[in-house]
Amino acid sequence: MNVNKSSHYRPNHNDNGQNISTPVNDWVNGFQPREKTETIRNCAALPRDFVDAVVLRVAKALLSLTERNTESSSCGDAWNTGGSMLISEVVNLLDQSSLQALKKECGGLQTLLKNNHQVFRVEGGRVFIRDWRKTTLAQSSRVTSKRKPPPSGAVKTRLCWFHTHHPQGCPLLCEHCAFAHGETDLKNPQR
């Protein structure tokens, strides 16, 4: 018995020359290959100035919720950790054009906030200012961590958001912060 092996890929015809619909034919006819370059939609391709403006607006709102919500470090100095907001409340801080830009991204505002984990902590639908003193203590006391520590070549390759924007600066000393405290502390990224 001779069987044409390529018959799976050809449309089947009945005796009248009409196409017969089969699952294989329906799948092949409806097949659309992916684009050669897929669009990145995780907020990473958004313009840096747009992202920075959203981050600054959200951070200022969190810090203004409670100017008195300060926590002391072991040295006794107080640092404003701000309040917390539901992501649905954060939406109200943004203008319509910003919201439209974020709607085009997968995960939208929440993804943008999570991508900026240097500044924010997002848990249970709430946004908080990240307190690196607590994060550092928690990481050092845990044997295993979900997030790997940054590679040694990645330390001090970006400016510290808190040093630049927080009213009280960074809660960590320069030598303990993974981010650069000023242009002179900045190192070139190793690639």
Distance from C-alpha of 95 to C-alpha of 75, rounded to nearest angstrom: 41
In a domain, 174, yes or no: yes
Pick from 25-39, 83-97, 131-145, 166-180: least confident: 131-145
Predicted TM-score (pTM) above 0.85: no
In a domain, 73, yes or no: yes
Range of the domain at 112: 48-185
In a domain, 170, yes or no: yes
In a domain, 141, yes or no: yes
In a domain, 8, yes or no: no
In a domain, 24, yes or no: no
Output phi, psi for 185, to 5 deg. -85, -10
Residue corresponding to tokens 């590679």: 151
In a domain, 10, yes or no: no
Q: Residue 106: what pLDDT?
A: 80
Q: Are 129 and 62 in contact (CB under 8 A)?
A: yes
Q: Residue 23: what pLDDT?
A: 65
Tally of domains in the chain: 1
Distance from C-alpha of 134 to C-alpha of 75, rounded to nearest angstrom: 14
